[in-house]
Structure 1
């Protein structure tokens, strides 16, 4: 194990924890230094919202601090019912279930629904939690090339129609910032008798008229069998959800080990989820501002010649390539006051290390322009752009 750590260090792939303060704001402190926060998933600025804080305080006064047990024992406190009612109303779903985290949701749902005789078709750039869910399920794993529906169809054609099949994808991909072709995936799942599961983690609260995600934006909410998302990004709290038909939620309640064998979320967290769902449906101005700022940031960087990996969302990566140069890029940006985080293998493929920037509604046009100036300066210094 020590040798493995030394190897990671020699390849500039070793990670370490960095202390940050005020990460729910446009500017943060990283190791005591003030920097523009371009690394947060707090997309519409709710993590520090006073309304969520108050909801947590009220929940603690009414229900205490800890849930004390799993939801199927005595941990299913009243706020869960309120939150799930608001969830399914917001998402226009038949039923829904709140789960402890996005990782637990993906790993638990996939391994509960699929087994040794099942086949899973997973986009090559899906999140690690989806990858681990596929492994835990012990199903046959058919990875299709990123967003390549021709490749997916070629794989689907090889399996018998009545075999249990699941197509699973992120809607907004967390490291490239591009989006899945949901309409094409729906067409294929219907043609080949498969279930379709989508992870709206980076789209919930951001995409769609009511912030429901990409399925809403594309008018496909009733065509997707399983929708997963998180409350820990745009909704500013913690935890995850799954929505679908009532039979699906009943099945997961009885078969999902990550729900059955873990302590329920603290009441304060669920209280903040209730408030966040209420807020996100009506706060369209912040979604519009986020889109405006993101477009401004992306257009300026593209004009400078940076490779943005086809980003279509508030996640805007700059592809650098080599690990060491990516680390240097991040360090120089931090020295210049920009909180930039290097993303390296195995999170991304070898040779595709990058800086992953995220814009939030807490930023201003001036913040974006200032950041672009700093990024351009460092990019030219390191030869990332000419």
Structure 2
């Protein structure tokens, strides 16, 4: 936030103050300046809720040197906020001397640059002057691959050029400009007068024209560039955003692409099971119209607890005793004694003071991160973290710093922001869900202590897998209690549904009242909680399940490494078989399925384009015969489609 000098004498709001207030609302809401109409109603026109308004007013009071005061009850527009701020300044005897910020940044020296800045500003909520051309999109600006894909998809039509294939690895706006510059029309490249030499009205008009072109261009000019071909080289990334007046246009385009993939038996996601999911499962193949038994290597039932008689009986008993579901959220009639017992058991398993249970693992990350981090804070998140983490970071409104999947990168970014005076949170998966590797927790915690940051570890694929008792990542490293927050899901090893956060009691109590995905959502049924408690009982009583799981992991890994597959740095029950190319990966998965092995084919958005892989999940229920058969299937399938393999 820019510094504001305050002079002690009475004054009324002027154009400078109005610009400053608009700038503050733009920062807190992500709206373009042109959309912040002074008389627009906060709720009905702009969708600005009371929490966002209160946060913005609090920062305005602080920035303008005003004494704290109760917010007015009926401030429903920016015009009324301006009037209120003017009254506050008069009451306190102060007039702000405010710096002006140009609408078009000085680094927009030509129309191409201005257009790209406008596009990135609209998609990210950043002010144009904050979009430094050489800034790293991920580590500096927190712009992830999905947002980048959305921006790049609309640029060709916006600039009036043919469809463009953007190379992977563009890490800054400057690199995007350099790639586009030879392709745009010559008239776009005529230098504009420097922003500082233009009258403010001209600056605003030029910038608004680009915003208007982005948001209101003719539909025919913003449709998909090329018709699909028989050999469609597009990936799912190409359908993230297709600018068009019809909101559903992108859905129709994707449907054509999706149906072709289904006809080729390359996309077969969501096939329905017709049996329990164990080491084998009966699945109805909607592509071929047949049902058959598969070797199951796509399940997160790591310890086989989903089929344990004790777990099933606990659920049945819970339904009979407490009914089918809850009738309210946890704070209003939705808490059962079994929820409280489950939270106690999870806290004990993790070695923490307290636990809060959410409706899902996704909502646990979403609610926890967004409740604890805010506008003045920084969140450092691994580029490979689960989407629930990334979405939680976005929802928080904190500045998101995406560090590359190595801790050297994290250290550099932490050093860069060492002087930040807000809160800092480092968020990481314990086991990375599509890569299977384990975070270097000792070094990460050491970096956090050095830079005054809190640490959140997501144990979705660690609970029941890592550690002698299955407690997770901290137990694996002998560091129980050494991180601030441990998040988990109960839909994997623990054989139920729901998510949880474990930590200090005062933090958990805060989450119970400020975490929206807990406060405003019904939680898991009591019967599910009963089954989860039983699953924890079995896991603690039968540690041999974890031992068997790891014997199976080592057995299959040995086969696959001997065959020459690239398993990256996996060190968990998740074994990736890296291929890279989307098409070849899909063909590899199809060939494995035809031979009776069911595993996940992972392409964008599960991984970046060019990083496609098969994802193999191992469980304690697999037999040696299952593992040997799976290894042979993968070798044979790889040979069929041209994936490099030995044997």
Instruction: For residues 109-165 of structure 1, give each alpha carbon's deviation from its aligned partner in whole angstroms, at most 9, with x where no partner exists.
Output: 11111111110000000001001001111110111110x212111111222254200
Alignment partners' CA distance in 2, 1:9 and 1:247: 51
Alignment partners' CA distance in 2, 1:15 and 1:249: 40
Alignment partners' CA distance in 1, 2:414 and 2:423: 12
Paired residues of 1:175 and 1:317 also in contact (CA < 8 A) = yes
RMSD of equivalent CA atoms: 1.6
The 3 A distance-change label for structure 1 pair 23 and 131 is: farther
Aligned to 2:412: 154
Match of 1:68 among 327, 343, 357: 327
Instruction: State the Cα distance separating 1:6 from its structure 2 match.
Output: 3.4
| Structure 1, 3-12 or 47-56: larger mean CA deviation | 3-12
Alignment partners' CA distance in 1, 2:375 and 2:259: 38
Aligned to 2:273: 20
Alignment partners' CA distance in 1, 2:353 and 2:421: 25
Aligned to 2:194: none
Match of 1:30 among 267, 283, 290: 283
Instruction: State the Cα distance separating 1:23 from its structure 2 match.
Output: 4.7
Instruction: For residues 243-292 of structure 1, give each alpha carbon's deviation from its aligned partner in whole angstroms, at most 9, with x where no partner exists.
Output: 00011101100110000011121111111111112221222101011101
Larger RCO (CA within 8 A; separation ≥ 6):
1
Aligned to 2:580: 321
Alignment partners' CA distance in 2, 1:334 and 1:3: 27
Instruction: For residues 328-371 of structure 1, give each alpha carbon's deviation from its aligned partner in whole angstroms, at most 9, with x where no partner exists.
Output: 11111111111122111111010111111111001011110111
Alignment partners' CA distance in 1, 2:427 and 2:259: 34
Match of 1:306 among 559, 565, 576: 565
Match of 2:618 among 343, 353, 359: 359
| Structure 1: segments with no counterpart, 5+ residues | none
Paired residues of 2:267 and 2:586 also in contact (CA < 8 A) = no
Please state if 1:57 is matched with 2:307: no
Alignment partners' CA distance in 1, 2:602 and 2:347: 35
Aligned to 2:442: 183
| Structure 1, 275-284 or 123-132: larger mean CA deviation | 275-284
Alignment partners' CA distance in 1, 2:600 and 2:434: 12
Paired residues of 2:379 and 2:426 also in contact (CA < 8 A) = yes
Match of 1:286 among 516, 538, 545: 545
Instruction: State the Cα distance separating 1:310 from its structure 2 match.
Output: 1.5
Which of the two has greater strand per residue? Answer: 1
Instruction: State the Cα distance separating 1:9 from its structure 2 match.
Output: 6.1
Alignment partners' CA distance in 1, 2:584 and 2:499: 35
Aligned to 1:172: 431
Structure 2 SS opposite 1:376:
helix
Aligned to 2:380: 121
Structure 1 SS opposite 2:488:
strand
Structure 2 SS opposite 1:131:
helix
Structure 2 SS opposite 1:19:
coil
Instruction: For residues 49-89 of structure 1, give each alpha carbon's deviation from its aligned partner in whole angstroms, at most 9, with x where no partner exists.
Output: 11111111111121111101000000001111111111122
Alignment partners' CA distance in 2, 1:153 and 1:7: 42
| Structure 1, 154-163 or 295-304: larger mean CA deviation | 154-163
Tell me the TM-score normalized by structure 1: 0.96
| Structure 2: segments with no counterpart, 5+ residues | 1-249, 285-290
Match of 1:77 among 333, 336, 344: 336
Instruction: State the Cα distance separating 1:177 from its structure 2 match.
Output: 0.4
The 3 A distance-change label for structure 1 pair 351 and 11 is: farther
Alignment partners' CA distance in 1, 2:510 and 2:537: 28
Aligned to 2:208: none
Tell me the TM-score normalized by structure 2: 0.58
Paired residues of 2:512 and 2:519 also in contact (CA < 8 A) = yes
Any residues of structure 2 matched to 1:211-360 within 5 Å, and which?
Answer: 211-360=470-619
Instruction: State the Cα distance separating 1:326 from its structure 2 match.
Output: 1.5
Paired residues of 2:591 and 2:640 also in contact (CA < 8 A) = no
**Pair member with larger Rg:** 2
Instruction: State the Cα distance separating 1:240 from its structure 2 match.
Output: 1.2
Structure 2 SS opposite 1:20:
coil
Paired residues of 2:463 and 2:470 also in contact (CA < 8 A) = yes
Instruction: State the Cα distance separating 1:309 from its structure 2 match.
Output: 2.1
Paired residues of 2:565 and 2:578 also in contact (CA < 8 A) = yes
